[in-house]
Amino acid sequence: MLKSALFLDFYELTMARADFVNRNFSRVTETYFFRKCPEYLGAFIIFCGLEQVVDFILNFKFKKREIKWLKESYGSYFDDEFLNYLKI
């Protein structure tokens, strides 16, 4: 189980910031897919880890120490208003 909201890349944080600055608070979605079921596998695909993905999404939140780290590391890019928003 993932224990940190920082299990993402910088691009995702910058896009979140861009949405915040532009007051775009619409629902965000993520899609997980595969292109084609390989013929040698037949008609079945097993999705391993779905429970962990759902658990991470349902419990996703930034901890105080993560907000502090973002401020110390990228404070010139992420202002206090955005960092406070991440606490919600």
Q: What is the pLDDT of residue 81?
A: 95
pLDDT < 50 regions, the chain: none
Q: What is this structure's pTM?
A: 0.70
What distance in Å separates the CA atoms of residue 27 and residue 25, rounded to the nearest whole number? 7
The domains of the chain are located at 61-88
Residues with Cβ within 8 Å of residue 44, at least 6 apart in sequence? 37
Q: What is the pLDDT of residue 54?
A: 85
Residues with Cβ within 8 Å of residue 38, at least 6 apart in sequence? none
Q: What is the pLDDT of residue 8?
A: 82
Q: What is the pLDDT of residue 31?
A: 73
Residue where the block lists tokens 């695909």: 45
Q: What is the pLDDT of residue 27?
A: 83
